[in-house]
């Protein structure tokens, strides 16, 4: 089914719904490195704290930090893969590697982080054990909070350069295609909440003398990580399958094409994110049947130039010209194409 043609009298007022800044860094590699260093140090200290205290919540948090460290390695590998130049087998480049490795992050976070913490929490609730040397747990948790807070601050600082002006943080995390920023913001936020759960569990276990609270804290940490993994999974799968730019930007693209001389209609338009700050544009336009090829070629070149000026993240642009057809002529053409492709029914 063809899209309804857009005439030159169509929507002339296009609201501003900004796309990613093509010149802003979307990899967040500084934040990835900061988070990796922090998580490795935190994971080691948490394992030491678990050894001395026996607190299940500390073990859950240690595995959480270990999972986060693995995730930062995946983000780094995804960023390196995405920088590869297009090849014959991958003519659109490797930008979507960002989405693939972020998808793998959600799996690691759910299995290694969430599932393990839930299992340990249930085990500790069924067979509770007292916490020894709680002061060690408090020291490690306090240091971890400072380091995780610093990592979150770095992540948000780098994301700010990529965030469109006038967009709040929640809207940015929901709409951005920069999966590295999504992962880091969610991971670091979940880490701070998880640390709060662990500290609360240790405190209640000491005050009440009932170590079940430590198991409950571990269970809550596991459910938190599983929830974050599911949110990340849902955000990334759409990009991995293939996601278009927003409708407002597509209307603006059609308006730009219609502003070029000798262009009568925009018959069809397809867009696709090929990376966090890269898009592919395919457009079919109609021109008068008395125009020569040189004129049509100039019109196509002008469309591409104007689109690239308005949308710097447009990496690939294909414009297919066609002559204007009446509805009856178009239906006849569609039948001929169907016959060629599928044969006579």
Task: Residue count of the chain, please give it.
Answer: 345
Do residue 190 and residue 263 come from a single domain? no
Confidence (pLDDT) at 30: 72
**CATH code for position 310:** 3.30.70.1350
Verdict on whether the full-model pTM lies above 0.75: no
Do residue 252 and residue 225 come from a single domain? no
**Residue pLDDT, tens place only, 173-187:** 778 888 888 888 888
**CATH code for position 166:** 1.20.1510.10
Contact yes or no for 110/232 (Cβ under 8 A): no
Residue at 285 is within a domain: yes
Residue at 58 is within a domain: yes
Confidence (pLDDT) at 343: 67
Residue at 16 is within a domain: no
Buried/exposed 132-171: b ≥16 CB within 10 Å, e otherwise:
eebebbbebbeebbebbeebbebbbebbeebbbeeeeeee
Do residue 314 and residue 331 come from a single domain? yes
Confidence (pLDDT) at 15: 42
Task: Calculate mean pLDDT across residues 120-124.
Answer: 87
Residue 124 lies in domain: 29-241
Do residue 231 and residue 271 come from a single domain? no
Task: Calculate mean pLDDT across residues 250-278.
Answer: 89
Task: Calculate mean pLDDT across residues 280-307.
Answer: 85
Do residue 171 and residue 299 come from a single domain? no
The mean pLDDT of the chain is: 82
Do residue 278 and residue 314 come from a single domain? yes
| Residue position matching structure tokens 């857009």 | 6
Do residue 237 and residue 251 come from a single domain? no
The total number of structural domains that make up the chain: 2
Quote the DSSP letter at residue 21: P
Residue at 334 is within a domain: yes
Highest mean pLDDT among 35-39, 112-116, 133-137, 200-204: 200-204
Task: Calculate mean pLDDT across residues 239-250.
Answer: 89
**Is the confidence at residue 283, as pLDDT, over 70?**
yes
Confidence (pLDDT) at 250: 92
């Amino acid at each position: 089914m063809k899209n309804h043609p857009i005439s030159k009298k169509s929507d002339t007022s296009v609201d501003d719904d900004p796309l990613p800044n093509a010149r802003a860094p979307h990899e967040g590699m500084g934040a990835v490195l900061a988070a990796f260093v922090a998580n490795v140090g935190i994971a080691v200290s948490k394992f030491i704290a678990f050894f001395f205290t026996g607190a299940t919540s500390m073990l859950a948090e240690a595995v959480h930090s270990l999972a986060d460290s693995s995730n930062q390695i995946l983000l780094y590998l995804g960023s390196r893969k995405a920088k590869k130049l297009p090849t014959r087998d991958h003519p659109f480049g490797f930008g979507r590697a960002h989405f693939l490795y972020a998808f793998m992050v959600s799996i690691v976070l759910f299995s290694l982080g969430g599932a393990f913490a839930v299992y340990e929490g249930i085990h500790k609730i069924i067979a509770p054990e007292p916490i020894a040397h709680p002061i060690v747990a408090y020291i490690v948790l306090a240091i971890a909070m400072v380091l995780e807070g610093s990592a979150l601050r770095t992540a948000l600082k780098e994301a700010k350069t990529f965030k469109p002006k006038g967009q709040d943080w929640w809207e940015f995390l929901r709409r951005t295609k920069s999966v590295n920023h999504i992962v880091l913001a969610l991971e670091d936020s979940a880490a701070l909440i998880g640390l709060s759960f662990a500290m609360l569990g240790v405190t209640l276990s000491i005050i009440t003398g009932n170590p079940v609270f430590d198991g409950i804290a571990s269970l809550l940490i596991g459910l938190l990580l599983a929830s974050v993994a599911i949110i990340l999974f849902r955000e990334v799968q759409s990009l991995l399958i293939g996601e278009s730019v927003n409708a407002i930007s597509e209307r603006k693209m059609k308006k730009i094409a219609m502003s070029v001389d000798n262009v009568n209609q925009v018959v069809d338009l397809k867009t696709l994110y090929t990376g966090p700050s890269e898009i592919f544009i395919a457009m079919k336009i109609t021109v008068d049947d008395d125009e020569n090829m040189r004129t049509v070629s100039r019109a196509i070149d002008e469309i591409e130039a104007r689109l690239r000026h308005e949308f710097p993240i447009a990496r690939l642009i294909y414009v297919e010209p066609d002559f204007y057809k009446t509805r009856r002529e178009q239906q006849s053409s569609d039948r001929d194409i169907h016959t060629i492709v599928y044969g006579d029914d």
